[in-house]
Every structure is written in C-alpha cells, then in structure tokens.
Structure 1
Amino acid sequence: MMGFWKRLRFYLIGLSIGVVLVLMFFGPRSMQCSYFPNSRALEEAKIYPMSFSAEAQQTINAEKMDSVFLFNEIFKKSKITNFGTDEVRETPCRTYRAAYREEKKFDVVYQICKKQTVIKEIKKVE
C-alpha cells in the first residue's frame, strides 16, 4: 500500500499538471460577475462603441474629461436612478439616467441602442 505522503505527492503533481494545461489552453481571463442591475446597465454601456451628443461633448470639453475618467469613474461608480420607469424598456434604445457622486458630481443620460452607446447629456451638479 502507498503511504499518505506518497499519495499526496502524486495528487499534487497531477493537479499542477492539470492547472498548467488548463492555463495553456484557455489562457488567463479577466472575469467579472456583476449580476446586480446597476452594474449590468453600466457595464453594458461600456461594451459598445460610444458616441456623444453635442451637449455632452461640450460638457466633456469644458470639464476637461477624458475617456479614462468616463470609463473608470462615471461608468463604474454611478448609480442608475431610473430603474422601474418605462425609459429602460423603450425600443430600439433604452435610456438610463445615472448619478455620479464622488469628488465631482455629474448626472449622465445615456442610451444603449443596437450595438452602440449614445451619451445624450452630462450635467455638472453643484
């Protein structure tokens, strides 16, 4: 009979070979599990290419925002304020209203259309 330590050694060798093979075949992946409605609505907006209305572009230029701020701050730390309204069920474009309340305060209105996100409005809140 095999001793406990010998069996443990064979198990760990097999496990490490299996992990290496899985990483080789599937590669490292960045996984996100955001099942809450707020997170899903914000993450979905970041998936598609973004376009900006003239009013939103004006605010972006005036506040000297960049795409990093939009993606990493506004579309991560905002709270959707219009769940339960008919705006989020409209077709072909669902409209979301988000409130960003960190060091700067903004209200954002955006639409998720077929394969595109349209930022309609960004307002600075005092």
Structure 2
Amino acid sequence: MAFLRRLGWYLVGLSIGIVFLVFFLKKKSGEEGIEFCYFPNCRVLKDMRSKALVFDENLPEQFRDTLLVKAFLTDGDIDFGNSDTKSEPCKTYFIENEGKVLKAQNCADKIVVESIRQ
C-alpha cells in the first residue's frame, strides 16, 4: 500500500511538471515567444536589435538598407577576435553574414553602421 501511495504522489508531481513544461515551451515557441540568449553572440545581437539604427554619413547609399542590417543583427556571427569590445563609449563589432561583413558601433542608446564589405 505504501508503494501505491508513493507512486500516486510521484504521478501527481510528474503531471504538474509536464503541464508547466508544456505551458513554458509553448510560450517559447510562439510568435511572441520568449528568447533565451546564453551565448555571447546571441546576447550582443539581441542588445543591438533593441537600439535605434543610425547610418554613418560615409556609408554608400546602396548599403543604407534597414532590412539588410536587420538580417545581420538576426542571423549574423560576431567576430570577437577582430571586434573591440573594451572601447568606451561605443564598442565596435564586426558581424559576418552570407560572406559580407558589417562594421558597427554599439553605443548606449544607438547602433552606428560604419561599413559593409564583401
């Protein structure tokens, strides 16, 4: 009888855990889902996506495309070896995406796109 009681409590706890997990993962996978960024690349790109986008005046007109820059900030990989992550007040990052490299400064309230090269 003691085994059945322990099995019953185990199944109650397991079912509560499964309901919580399903609810939590459903929120994560939805359109308004929660985004988890544990790695440095993901955290920096998420921070950059949350700021205002400004184009440098020396940037050619063909690269002043917000959708192009958003693609870098969504799918890009940051080259931390070449980036200057210690500078103040703005940190400089090199972001690679589909053979192109974006150079951007991450300031406290904005992102300044300096150049895009192949």
TM (norm. structure 1) is 0.59
Gapped runs of 5+ residues in structure 1? none
| 2:92 corresponds to 1:95 | yes
Secondary structure of the residue aligned to 1:91 is: coil
Shift of 1:24: 7.1
Secondary structure of the residue aligned to 1:111 is: strand
Length, aligned pairs only: 110
Does 1 or 2 have the higher relative contact order (CA < 8 Å, sep 6+)? 1
Residues 55 and 122 in structure 1, CA contact (< 8 A), matched pair in contact too: no
Residues 107 and 122 in structure 1, CA contact (< 8 A), matched pair in contact too: yes
Secondary structure of the residue aligned to 1:99 is: strand
Residue 74 of structure 1: aligned partner: 72
Could you tell me which of 32, 36, 41 is aligned with 2:36?
32
The Cα RMSD (Å) is: 3.4
TM (norm. structure 2) is 0.62
- 2: CA distance, partners of 1:110 / 1:92: 13
Residue 12 of structure 2: aligned partner: 13
Residue 122 of structure 1: aligned partner: 116
Gapped runs of 5+ residues in structure 2? 29-33
Could you tell me which of 46, 54, 59 is aligned with 1:51?
54
